Amino acid sequence: MDVIIRKISSLDADKYIEFFDYTAHDTKLEKDKCYCVGWNDSNDNLTYSDKDTRRTYAHKYVIEEKITGYIAELDNKIIGWVNVNHKTNCSQCANWKNYMSYVPMDQKKVLSIYCFVVNEKYYRQGIASQLLKKVIEDAIVEDYDLIESYPYEEKLHGYSNFGGYVSMYEKEGFKLTLKTEYGLVMQKKLKWGA
């Protein structure tokens, strides 16, 4: 399987929407398709709006390069996605304000990993791991101090582990830095003293 892992670009807007249209959300409910707008907009009304509104904004945000992350492509179709952004860029996003208050902010240059989505046909084929490796590779080149992720120890609110699995992060050198009742924080230091 010849999968290409790369950063999403403005030219991927239609493919991105198609991927979310045909990839089941964690709950398997159409109404819950998020299109990752909650990590890119501070408007709670948009985050909790209907699916079609989120879809429209997601298309616009990909074109504007406001939605950032990496895609896994096979035969020119997206089969996997990881939403990543500079931590401070998302600190005012609706999802951050609603779900991440347990995560401390600091002055370091931190790349945050928010969620993974993989088409069900490609589960257990290493797609998320390939996406994570590319995130790490580019974060080193882009001079980040560290990478941070927010996996759950177990399922919360009926959702699957969209934040990624602890074991996947551990294999790539991430260490648990904070454990709360709301979630975990794992970090991979990219610089000495970070």
Contacts of residue 116, defined as CB under 8 A and 6 or more positions apart, other chains included, come to 80, 81, 82, 83, 128, 131, 162, 163, 164
Helix (H, G, I), strand (E, B) or coil at 4: strand
The residues that bridge with 178 in the sheet, in sequence order, are: 185
* The two structure tokens encoding residue 158: 């009926």
pLDDT at position 5 is 98
Least confident interval from 92-106, 116-130, 145-159: 145-159
Q: How far apart are CA 80 and CA 107, in angstroms?
A: 31
pLDDT at position 158 is 44
pLDDT at residue 153 tops 70: no
Of 15 and 24, the structure prediction assigns the larger pLDDT to 15
> Within 13 Å of residue 54, how many CA atoms lie on the same side as its CB?
24
User: What is the per-residue pLDDT across 44-82, written as a single tens digit (0 to 9) for each?
Assistant: 666 667 888 889 999 999 999 999 999 999 999 999 999
pLDDT at residue 142 tops 90: yes
Domain 4-189 has CATH 3.30.1330.10: no
Segment 138-155 mean pLDDT: 88
Residue type at 67 in one-letter notation: I
Instruction: Please report which confidence band the pLDDT of residue 157 belongs to, taking 50, 70 and 90 as the band edges.
Output: very low
Segment 4-20 mean pLDDT: 96
* The two structure tokens encoding residue 58: 């997601």
pLDDT at position 43 is 73
What are residue 83's phi and psi, to 5 degrees?
A: -90, 115
Calculate what percentage of the chain has a pLDDT beyond 90. Answer: 55
Helix (H, G, I), strand (E, B) or coil at 173: coil
User: What is the per-residue pLDDT across 52-61, written as a single tens digit (0 to 9) for each?
Assistant: 888 999 999 9
pLDDT at position 2 is 92
Q: How far apart are CA 102 and CA 59, in angstroms?
A: 30
Q: How far apart are CA 136 and CA 129, in angstroms?
A: 11
Q: How far apart are CA 50 and CA 159, in angstroms?
A: 18
Contacts of residue 141, defined as CB under 8 A and 6 or more positions apart, other chains included, come to none
- The per-residue pLDDT of the chain, averaged, comes to 87
pLDDT at position 79 is 96
